[in-house]
Amino acid sequence: MRYRFTGFPLLSVFLFCCLSVSCAKTANKQSVNATLAELSSLEEKELAGYLENLDRTDPIAPYYQDSSTKELTLQFFASLTHSENVARVILDNAAKYGVRPSLAFALALEESDFKVDAFNKNGDSVDRGLFQLNSKSYPGLKVPDFYDIDTNARYGIAHLKGCLSQAGNEVAALAMYNAGNGRVERGATPKKTLNYVSRILAYEDNISTLFAAKVMAKAQPVSPSLARLVAESMSMGLIASAQDTKTTE
């Protein structure tokens, strides 16, 4: 049975960081107003396409890239995976291929529970390692290669990036990762794959929320680059404003 993290109030613990950005409120208000104006001009038939094309702000990658918070970020994921090496390899490959760390870790959690020696037999093929690489999909790899953390994470995250690029959204991309490109493109995605996608998205949200509580809330004062991330996250509704938090208590 897969485990899930206990939820925290969505990023509310990060409000103190948000409030430290003195110029953010004006910029956020203008950004929100512009977004609302754009949405109000859309016709009903255009809404689905608009939502599919929305970029989702990554609240984790900037913290790993920033020297002042890199170690704190690494230790957070080391505690999550019970391995600093696994955490570092996933973070580095997520950065290399431009994949959100929260999504990469959520996928590894679903696929193997972060167990580098995970093994699963699928009829005439087997899935191995951290990202459960399939023996038929990677015939050039030798058995020890599948269990090598660096090799497995590199191929797994690169494949996830390929699925994201081809699918255009993470729901279809995760379905492709699990069921194969052909089945998803034909509209033959099995129900178990839909459940698989749902679990990963829930894991990703929980990881992001826990990261906010354990890392974002401690990373004060914030650097200018992180301050910009806060402003962007607030404008997209990923982080509540202080006033919103007060009215919902």
Provide the mean pLDDT of the chain.
Answer: 77
d(CA 178, CA 162): 13
Phi then psi for residue 125, to 5 deg, are -140, 170
* Model confidence pTM above 0.75: no
| Top-level class of domain 70-218 | mainly alpha
Question: E strands, 53-177, where?
Answer: 119-122, 125-128, 133-134
Q: Give the residue extent of every domain in the chain.
A: 12-60+227-249, 70-218
pLDDT in tens, 76-108: 999 999 999 999 999 999 999 999 999 999 999
Q: Of the candidates 28, 127, 14, which has an alpha carbon nearest to the alpha carbon of residue 63?
A: 14
Let me know if 64 is exposed, middle or buried by CB neighbors in 10 A (0-12, 13-18, 19+): buried
d(CA 63, CA 164): 23
